Amino acid sequence: MSKGQDTRNDIITKAATLFNKRGFAGVSMSELMAATGLKKGGLYNHFSSKEEIMAEAFGYAFGRVTDELTRVIKNELSAHDKLKAVIEFYRHYSLKPTIEGGCPIVNSAVESDDANPLLRSKVKEAMQVVQSGLVSVIKRGQQRGEFRQDADPEKAAIGIIAQIDGGIIITRAFGESRYMDIVCDQLHRYVETELLCS
């Protein structure tokens, strides 16, 4: 890897933590310069704008989370065990996130409004990746006879995502893991009663 690529990666890594902790709007160029040890020209030598840095930083942060989640579930053989592993991953993730500042999707979804269409599109893409991953696991479970055929994989995936994201927000607001425990226990019950074949 070239020195320029190393510098670019270092900027992305440091910006990801800053943006994830404080939001895109909450981080100034001078703070990015201080975190990276570069002058404005040094940053713009690698990126055309703060928005481009933000997009790359979000992609990096999301990639870190998905890499960790993939590592956790890859050895699970059944679709049911994969869903259980996803739920348990987020039970612990809410207070001990992979990347400092919490869940990049939740953080960025809250911030991405009409004023930041690039961030909104990146968040939407990330949500679609998560949703399609869960849909795939549920469909695989249906094909293997683990999950009910009348279950709608897309609706189930959206419900799981919504509960996890809501649990993350409530847990962070109160700073207590019991809220995520409640959500995760509820999700396990949902999988057992609504998805699993009886």
Q: Confirm whether 26 is domain-assigned.
A: no
Model confidence, pTM: 0.90
Give tens-digit pLDDT for 55-103.
999 999 999 999 999 999 999 999 999 999 999 999 988 778 888 888 9
User: Do the beta carbons of residue 55 and residue 28 sit within 8 Å?
Assistant: no
User: Domain range spanning residue 164?
Assistant: 54-195
pLDDT of 40 reads 83
Q: Confirm whether 151 is domain-assigned.
A: yes
The span from the CA of 90 to the CA of 72, in Å, is 11
Q: Sign of dihedral through CA atoms 114, 131, 65, 177?
A: positive
The token duo for 66 is 């998905």
103: domain CATH number is 1.10.357.10
Alpha carbon of 44 to those of 53, 61, 186: distances in Å?
Answer: 9, 21, 47
Q: Confirm whether 162 is domain-assigned.
A: yes
